[in-house]
Amino acid sequence: MVAMMISKEANRWSDSQLFEQCRFNLLVRSPLGLVNMDDILPSASTYYLLGKRIVDHEREGNPNLLEETFALVTTGQAKEFLVSGRSIRMDSKLLGISIAWLSRYELVHETLRLFCYNTDSKLLERTLSPAELELVKSLLSEKGNKVVYRLQG
């Protein structure tokens, strides 16, 4: 039932939409543990009673049970998958922003541009052949969103 609450909020469903999805949509039923069509869905009254009890529990001055549950699940997953929050990978942090605004070509072009900009030019000259260096310079002379694909006959 907690998974149903999460699905409802995540998908911005009304209560009736939630129960319809839980009754008929296999992609919604499966994460709820309802893998067979004859598995019984909790009744609406049971669902509402759980929500009421969670709220009443917190109003009595007790900790928020859902927050505690998420904290335990997150901690367990971090341990199981060996994830540490001590460092943040910049590709994970910024890639989503770039993807929203740039095409695939622009992402590659901008990544190459930033790499070359932040790399010592002497290192590039030692590492790349003269032809590769010329190609990189010609690519960097244009912005990624201004490039037109060139065709050779």
For position 150, what pLDDT does the model report?
A: 61
Domain definitions of the chain by residue range: 2-80, 90-146
pLDDT digits (tens, 9 = 90+) for 90-145: 555 555 555 556 677 787 888 888 888 888 888 888 888 999 989 888 878 877 77
The residue-averaged pLDDT of 71-89 equals 81
**Cα angle 98-102-104, degrees, rounded to a multiple of 5:** 105
Task: Pick 107 or 15 by higher pLDDT.
Answer: 15
For position 15, what pLDDT does the model report?
A: 95
For position 143, what pLDDT does the model report?
A: 76
- What's this model's pTM, rounded to 2 decimal places? 0.51
Pair 114, 72: CB distance under 8 Å? no
